[in-house]
Amino acid sequence: MEKTPLLGMTLKELQDVCLQLSMPKFAAKQIVQWIYSKHVGSIDEMTNISKANRELLDEKFCVGCVPPIETNKSADGTVKYLFPTESNKFVETVYIPDGDRATLCVSCQVGCKMNCLFCQTGKQGWQGNLSTRDILNQIYMVDRIVAEEGGTPLTNVVYMGQGEPLDNIDNVLKSTEILTADYGWAWSPRRITISTIGLRTSMRRLLEESECHVAVSLHTPIHEQRMQLMPAEKQFAISDIVEMLKEYDWSHQRRLTFEYTMFGGTNDSTLHAKELIKLLQGLDCRVNLIRWHKIPDVPLSEVSMEAMERFRDYLNRRGITTTIRASRGQDIWAACGLLSTRKQLENQNV
């Protein structure tokens, strides 16, 4: 009989498990501490639970943590992991150490429905949502691997890997609940950023049910051009998303960022900068410029650093806080827009 993973369950769900097995209710708090605080790999390691109850639990359940099946390390220290999922598919996760900080870029779907022109993930199509366990397993296992190797512990998680997070809103919000709950990782929501192209209904849920930072994939302020780059613009116009965001208070610690991937000769002109300023006027936010890396069969060009700096300086001088994101892991196809699951494609071709 296939066992049910405990990883990904809330405290209430674990209490229901204990009730189902006629275990004392307080055992749920013990289980949750072993999983989310101590990151154990097996039920047998939960030593303050009686042996009889551990055996009872082990009959139907498992912790559910699954190690990566491949690891690739970049010359710059970035590490890309390939994780199997509950649906027997694969996703990539990227660990980015930077001094005393370390960010983990997690995936939330196998592939992506959005099919943005410039993104490698969209080229593989959409093959399903990750479960809450699949999402948390990436964090759980990298936490353990980094601790074993003496690396920099995770300080931040960004939902910027494969997939559109708000297209899997239930599992994404459940995963962030567990990450921030006192019974879970007990992280501040300020350590978590959720990226999206801006799915309206799910965006409202994100804004009202979570306090995590928000990053909106913008890439061009011009409607017609954004439709060419991002087909979802037809249904979810960036102007409508910005108007919605203006309804919320961004003056406190929660941060709103607009991600702007730059393409040479496409969206790097002064006209684009002026339109961007007009679009974001009155909104407390920042803009993050991202270098695009060439992928096969896409008719876009890489941008020069000089053009990025010129664009950044133009926006900064006019009151839009703008930074250039350092590109990491390009040599192992781990940089922005390069994640795909070649392993999945290999399996399909067998």
Task: Report CA torsion sign: 211, 216, 221, 225.
Answer: negative
Mean pLDDT of 2-15: 96
Mean pLDDT of 8-34: 96
pLDDT of residue 121: 81
Structure tokens at 51: 């042996």
Structure tokens at 143: 């936490």
- Name residues whose C-beta falls within 8 Å of residue 25's C-beta, 6 or more positions apart in sequence: 15, 18, 19
What CA–CA distance (Å, rounded) separates 292 from 330?
10
| Higher pLDDT, residue 121 or 330 | 121
pLDDT of residue 120: 82
**230: exposed, middle or buried (Cβ count in 10 Å: 0-12, 13-18, 19+):** buried
pTM for the whole thing? Answer: 0.93
> What is the DSSP annotation of 239-301?
HHHHHHHTTS--SSS--EEEEEEE-TTTS-SHHHHHHHHHHHTT---EEEEEE----TT----
* Residue 349 binned pLDDT confidence (cut-offs 50, 70, 90): very low
pLDDT at residue 31 is higher than 70: yes
Cβ 25 vs Cβ 19: under 8 Å: yes
Name the average pLDDT for the chain: 92
Q: At 110, which amino acid appears?
A: V
pLDDT of residue 348: 43
Give catalytic residue positions: 92, 336
- Name residues whose C-beta falls within 8 Å of residue 239's C-beta, 6 or more positions apart in sequence: 223, 279
* Residue 342 binned pLDDT confidence (cut-offs 50, 70, 90): low
pLDDT at residue 337 is higher than 60: no
Render pLDDT for 196-250 as a digit per residue (tens, 0 to 9): 999 999 999 999 999 999 999 999 999 999 999 999 999 999 999 999 999 998 8
Share of residues in the chain with pLDDT > 90 (%)? 84
What CA–CA distance (Å, rounded) separates 59 from 67?
22
